[in-house]
Amino acid sequence: MDKTDFLYEALLSTTASFIVLLILTRLLGKKQMSQLTFFNYITGITIGSIAANVVTLEGELFIHTLVGLIWWCLLTYIVDVLVLKLPKVRVILDGEPAIIIKKGKIQYKALKMVRLDIDNLLTMMREKDVFLITDIDYAILESNGELTIFKKAEKHNTIREDFNLPNELQVYIPTQIIINGLIVKSNLEEFNLTYDWVYDQLNKNGVDKIADVLYAELQPDGSLHIDVIEN
Protein backbone atom coordinates (compact mmCIF):
# COMPACT_ATOMS: atom_id res chain seq x y z
CA MET A 1 0.00 0.00 0.00
CA ASP A 2 1.52 3.34 -1.06
CA LYS A 3 1.27 6.54 0.93
CA THR A 4 -1.71 7.83 -1.06
CA ASP A 5 -3.74 4.66 -0.43
CA PHE A 6 -2.76 4.67 3.25
CA LEU A 7 -3.83 8.32 3.65
CA TYR A 8 -7.09 7.65 1.81
CA GLU A 9 -7.94 4.64 4.00
CA ALA A 10 -7.02 6.53 7.19
CA LEU A 11 -9.30 9.43 6.22
CA LEU A 12 -12.09 7.06 5.25
CA SER A 13 -11.93 5.03 8.49
CA THR A 14 -11.75 8.19 10.63
CA THR A 15 -14.72 9.74 8.82
CA ALA A 16 -16.76 6.55 9.09
CA SER A 17 -15.96 6.26 12.81
CA PHE A 18 -16.91 9.89 13.38
CA ILE A 19 -20.26 9.53 11.61
CA VAL A 20 -21.15 6.25 13.33
CA LEU A 21 -20.17 7.60 16.77
CA LEU A 22 -22.16 10.79 16.16
CA ILE A 23 -25.26 8.79 15.24
CA LEU A 24 -24.86 6.44 18.21
CA THR A 25 -24.36 9.22 20.74
CA ARG A 26 -27.49 10.94 19.46
CA LEU A 27 -29.31 7.63 19.81
CA LEU A 28 -28.12 7.11 23.38
CA GLY A 29 -29.20 10.60 24.47
CA LYS A 30 -27.21 13.05 26.55
CA LYS A 31 -26.59 13.71 30.20
CA GLN A 32 -24.55 16.32 32.02
CA MET A 33 -21.33 15.03 33.58
CA SER A 34 -22.73 15.70 37.07
CA GLN A 35 -25.66 13.39 36.27
CA LEU A 36 -23.57 10.41 35.16
CA THR A 37 -23.93 7.25 37.19
CA PHE A 38 -21.10 4.72 37.53
CA PHE A 39 -22.63 2.61 34.73
CA ASN A 40 -22.84 5.64 32.40
CA TYR A 41 -19.25 6.59 33.22
CA ILE A 42 -17.83 3.12 32.46
CA THR A 43 -19.91 2.83 29.29
CA GLY A 44 -18.69 6.21 28.04
CA ILE A 45 -15.05 5.28 28.62
CA THR A 46 -15.50 1.95 26.82
CA ILE A 47 -17.21 3.52 23.81
CA GLY A 48 -14.44 6.11 23.55
CA SER A 49 -11.76 3.43 23.77
CA ILE A 50 -13.37 1.28 21.06
CA ALA A 51 -13.90 4.33 18.83
CA ALA A 52 -10.22 5.27 19.18
CA ASN A 53 -9.19 1.76 18.13
CA VAL A 54 -11.48 1.85 15.07
CA VAL A 55 -9.58 4.82 13.63
CA THR A 56 -6.25 2.96 13.59
CA LEU A 57 -7.48 -0.31 12.04
CA GLU A 58 -7.74 -1.39 8.42
CA GLY A 59 -9.74 -3.85 6.31
CA GLU A 60 -11.62 -6.62 8.08
CA LEU A 61 -10.34 -5.58 11.50
CA PHE A 62 -11.87 -2.15 10.93
CA ILE A 63 -15.26 -3.68 10.05
CA HIS A 64 -15.18 -6.10 13.01
CA THR A 65 -14.31 -3.39 15.51
CA LEU A 66 -16.87 -1.02 14.02
CA VAL A 67 -19.55 -3.71 14.41
CA GLY A 68 -18.39 -4.21 18.00
CA LEU A 69 -18.77 -0.47 18.66
CA ILE A 70 -22.28 -0.45 17.21
CA TRP A 71 -23.28 -3.54 19.22
CA TRP A 72 -21.88 -2.10 22.47
CA CYS A 73 -23.88 1.10 21.96
CA LEU A 74 -27.03 -0.90 21.19
CA LEU A 75 -26.55 -2.91 24.39
CA THR A 76 -26.20 0.36 26.31
CA TYR A 77 -29.39 1.64 24.69
CA ILE A 78 -31.23 -1.57 25.62
CA VAL A 79 -30.10 -1.24 29.23
CA ASP A 80 -31.24 2.41 29.33
CA VAL A 81 -34.68 1.34 28.09
CA LEU A 82 -34.85 -1.41 30.72
CA VAL A 83 -33.88 1.08 33.41
CA LEU A 84 -36.79 3.31 32.37
CA LYS A 85 -39.25 0.42 32.21
CA LEU A 86 -38.11 -1.64 35.21
CA PRO A 87 -37.19 0.21 38.44
CA LYS A 88 -35.53 -2.91 39.88
CA VAL A 89 -33.00 -2.89 37.04
CA ARG A 90 -32.20 0.75 37.80
CA VAL A 91 -31.54 -0.11 41.45
CA ILE A 92 -29.22 -2.97 40.47
CA LEU A 93 -27.20 -0.87 38.00
CA ASP A 94 -27.23 2.59 39.59
CA GLY A 95 -28.02 1.93 43.24
CA GLU A 96 -30.32 4.05 45.37
CA PRO A 97 -29.85 7.38 47.15
CA ALA A 98 -28.69 6.89 50.74
CA ILE A 99 -29.45 9.10 53.75
CA ILE A 100 -26.08 9.54 55.46
CA ILE A 101 -26.99 12.36 57.87
CA LYS A 102 -30.37 12.51 59.58
CA LYS A 103 -31.42 15.27 61.98
CA GLY A 104 -27.81 16.31 62.48
CA LYS A 105 -26.58 12.77 63.19
CA ILE A 106 -24.29 10.72 60.97
CA GLN A 107 -25.85 7.42 59.91
CA TYR A 108 -23.00 4.98 60.50
CA LYS A 109 -24.57 1.97 58.77
CA ALA A 110 -25.39 4.03 55.67
CA LEU A 111 -21.79 5.31 55.52
CA LYS A 112 -20.49 1.74 55.61
CA MET A 113 -22.95 0.65 52.95
CA VAL A 114 -21.86 3.35 50.48
CA ARG A 115 -18.18 3.00 51.52
CA LEU A 116 -17.77 6.69 52.32
CA ASP A 117 -15.34 7.81 55.03
CA ILE A 118 -15.69 10.81 57.33
CA ASP A 119 -13.01 12.89 55.62
CA ASN A 120 -14.68 12.58 52.22
CA LEU A 121 -18.06 13.38 53.76
CA LEU A 122 -16.67 16.57 55.34
CA THR A 123 -15.07 17.57 52.04
CA MET A 124 -18.38 17.13 50.21
CA MET A 125 -20.12 19.20 52.90
CA ARG A 126 -17.64 22.04 52.59
CA GLU A 127 -18.13 22.03 48.82
CA LYS A 128 -21.78 22.82 49.62
CA ASP A 129 -20.69 25.62 52.00
CA VAL A 130 -21.83 23.63 55.04
CA PHE A 131 -19.33 23.31 57.89
CA LEU A 132 -21.41 21.96 60.77
CA ILE A 133 -23.07 18.56 60.77
CA THR A 134 -25.53 19.88 63.35
CA ASP A 135 -26.83 22.39 60.76
CA ILE A 136 -28.01 19.55 58.54
CA ASP A 137 -31.52 18.12 58.65
CA TYR A 138 -30.85 15.53 55.96
CA ALA A 139 -27.86 14.76 53.74
CA ILE A 140 -28.47 12.34 50.88
CA LEU A 141 -25.77 10.70 48.77
CA GLU A 142 -27.30 10.46 45.30
CA SER A 143 -26.73 7.53 42.95
CA ASN A 144 -24.40 9.70 40.84
CA GLY A 145 -22.16 10.42 43.85
CA GLU A 146 -23.40 13.97 44.48
CA LEU A 147 -24.31 15.07 48.02
CA THR A 148 -27.67 16.78 48.49
CA ILE A 149 -28.04 18.74 51.73
CA PHE A 150 -31.23 19.96 53.38
CA LYS A 151 -30.40 22.38 56.19
CA LYS A 152 -32.49 22.69 59.31
CA ALA A 153 -35.15 25.39 58.96
CA GLU A 154 -33.45 27.72 61.45
CA LYS A 155 -30.12 27.39 59.60
CA HIS A 156 -31.21 28.76 56.23
CA ASN A 157 -29.14 31.75 55.16
CA THR A 158 -30.37 35.20 56.09
CA ILE A 159 -28.64 38.58 55.97
CA ARG A 160 -28.30 39.62 59.58
CA GLU A 161 -28.12 43.34 58.87
CA ASP A 162 -31.56 43.14 57.22
CA PHE A 163 -33.01 42.31 60.64
CA ASN A 164 -30.65 44.51 62.68
CA LEU A 165 -29.32 41.42 64.43
CA PRO A 166 -26.04 41.58 66.38
CA ASN A 167 -23.13 39.54 65.07
CA GLU A 168 -22.62 36.24 66.86
CA LEU A 169 -19.30 35.69 68.60
CA GLN A 170 -17.57 32.70 67.04
CA VAL A 171 -14.83 31.39 69.31
CA TYR A 172 -13.76 28.37 67.24
CA ILE A 173 -14.07 27.11 63.70
CA PRO A 174 -15.71 23.69 63.21
CA THR A 175 -12.88 21.19 63.65
CA GLN A 176 -12.72 17.41 63.82
CA ILE A 177 -11.57 16.16 67.21
CA ILE A 178 -12.33 12.43 67.00
CA ILE A 179 -12.57 10.32 63.83
CA ASN A 180 -13.41 6.62 63.96
CA GLY A 181 -12.52 6.32 67.65
CA LEU A 182 -9.18 8.16 67.37
CA ILE A 183 -8.39 11.64 68.75
CA VAL A 184 -6.88 14.09 66.25
CA LYS A 185 -4.04 15.31 68.47
CA SER A 186 -2.90 18.11 66.17
CA ASN A 187 -6.35 19.74 66.29
CA LEU A 188 -6.39 19.58 70.09
CA GLU A 189 -3.04 21.33 70.20
CA GLU A 190 -4.17 23.93 67.66
CA PHE A 191 -6.88 25.16 70.05
CA ASN A 192 -5.02 24.45 73.32
CA LEU A 193 -7.47 21.72 74.29
CA THR A 194 -6.55 18.73 76.46
CA TYR A 195 -7.43 15.06 76.60
CA ASP A 196 -9.10 15.72 79.95
CA TRP A 197 -11.39 18.23 78.22
CA VAL A 198 -12.30 15.61 75.61
CA TYR A 199 -13.08 12.99 78.27
CA ASP A 200 -15.13 15.54 80.19
CA GLN A 201 -17.17 16.33 77.06
CA LEU A 202 -17.70 12.62 76.42
CA ASN A 203 -18.91 12.06 79.99
CA LYS A 204 -21.35 14.96 79.70
CA ASN A 205 -22.83 13.27 76.63
CA GLY A 206 -23.01 9.84 78.26
CA VAL A 207 -20.20 8.31 76.20
CA ASP A 208 -17.86 5.99 78.10
CA LYS A 209 -15.15 5.19 75.55
CA ILE A 210 -13.49 7.12 72.75
CA ALA A 211 -13.60 3.91 70.69
CA ASP A 212 -17.40 4.27 70.62
CA VAL A 213 -17.21 7.64 68.87
CA LEU A 214 -17.62 7.74 65.10
CA TYR A 215 -17.06 11.48 64.83
CA ALA A 216 -16.73 14.37 67.25
CA GLU A 217 -16.56 17.97 66.09
CA LEU A 218 -15.60 21.14 67.93
CA GLN A 219 -18.43 23.67 67.60
CA PRO A 220 -18.03 27.46 67.19
CA ASP A 221 -19.23 28.00 70.78
CA GLY A 222 -16.61 25.63 72.21
CA SER A 223 -18.85 22.62 72.80
CA LEU A 224 -18.31 19.18 71.28
CA HIS A 225 -20.80 17.54 68.92
CA ILE A 226 -20.56 13.75 69.19
CA ASP A 227 -21.80 10.97 66.92
CA VAL A 228 -21.43 7.47 68.35
CA ILE A 229 -21.03 4.28 66.33
CA GLU A 230 -24.37 2.53 65.93
CA ASN A 231 -24.44 -1.17 66.79
**Domain locations along the chain:** 3-92, 96-157, 169-231
Q: Given this model, what pLDDT does residue 32 score?
A: 45
Percent helix, percent strand, percent coil in the chain, to nearest 5? 55, 15, 30
Superfamily of chain region 96-157: bsu07140 like domains (3.30.240.20)
Q: Given this model, what pLDDT does residue 55 score?
A: 65
Give 211's contacts (C-beta < 8 A, 6+ positions apart).
181
DSSP 71-108: HHHHHHHHHHHHHHH-HHHHHHHH---EEEEETTEE-H
d(CA 18, CA 139) in angstroms, rounded, equals 42
Q: Is-same-fold flag (96-157; 169-231)?
A: yes
pLDDT per residue of the chain (231 residues) written in tens, 0 to 9: 555 665 566 666 667 666 666 665 665 555 544 455 666 667 777 777 777 776 666 666 777 777 777 787 787 778 778 777 776 777 676 677 888 998 888 898 888 888 888 888 999 999 998 988 888 988 998 877 889 998 887 766 554 445 554 555 456 778 889 988 889 888 898 888 999 999 999 999 999 899 999 999 998 888 899 999 876
Q: Given this model, what pLDDT does residue 225 score?
A: 92
Give 193's contacts (C-beta < 8 A, 6+ positions apart).
177, 218
Q: Given this model, what pLDDT does residue 159 score?
A: 46
In contact, 139 and 125? CB cutoff 8 Å: yes
d(CA 142, CA 123) in angstroms, rounded, equals 16
- CATH topology (fold) of 169-231: CRO Repressor (3.30.240)
